Amino acid sequence: MTSQPIDLTTALSAFDALWSPRIVTRVNDYDVRIAKVAGEHIWHAHDDTDEFFLVLDGELRIALREASGERVVTLPTGAVYVVPRGVEHKPSSAGGASILMFEPTGTPSVGDRHEPVPGHIDATTGHELHRPS
């Protein structure tokens, strides 16, 4: 990690991979991750942690499977949403989006329970953001 301020626009321009979060910094035992997304992720759930989303650019939709049934929340630029632990969810973005997430360090991007992972999804605990020297 760095002791310098991090410009998120510059950080997002440092990579092109979709659904492949980059760790920009850490706060206590949490990663602050950014990702570029487009199309659909997979249905998955994080059994032991909530998942925080902030949409930096674009629009993110999150389908949820709750006890009361399925629903979709739509997050425009600047919106935040927390998926509660254990709730199955499936993020997607028709036009593409840039997002920021807070998750405990080591949290897999595909959760603890998930559908088969297709090739366009990076099953990772986050990649360190490579900054120019």
Average pLDDT over residues 86-109: 96
* Domains by residue range for the chain, with CATH: 31-103 (2.60.120.10)
Task: Give the pLDDT score at 3.
Answer: 78
Task: Give the pLDDT score at 79.
Answer: 98
Task: Give the pLDDT score at 131.
Answer: 66
Average pLDDT over residues 42-48: 95
Q: What is the dihedral of CA 87, 99, 40, 104, to 10 degrees?
A: -40
- What is d(CA 21, CA 118) in angstroms, rounded to the nearest whole number? 16
Write down the pTM of the prediction: 0.92
| Long-range contacts of residues 58-61, Cβ cutoff 8 Å, at least 24 apart | 58/93, 58/95, 58/96, 58/97, 58/98, 59/93, 59/94, 59/95, 59/97, 60/91, 60/92, 60/93, 60/97, 60/99, 61/91, 61/92, 61/93, 61/94
Ramachandran quadrant class, 96 (left: phi over 0; alpha: psi -120 to 50; beta: rest): left
What pLDDT, in 10s, does the model give residues 46-76?
999 999 999 999 999 999 999 999 999 999 9
Average pLDDT over residues 97-123: 92
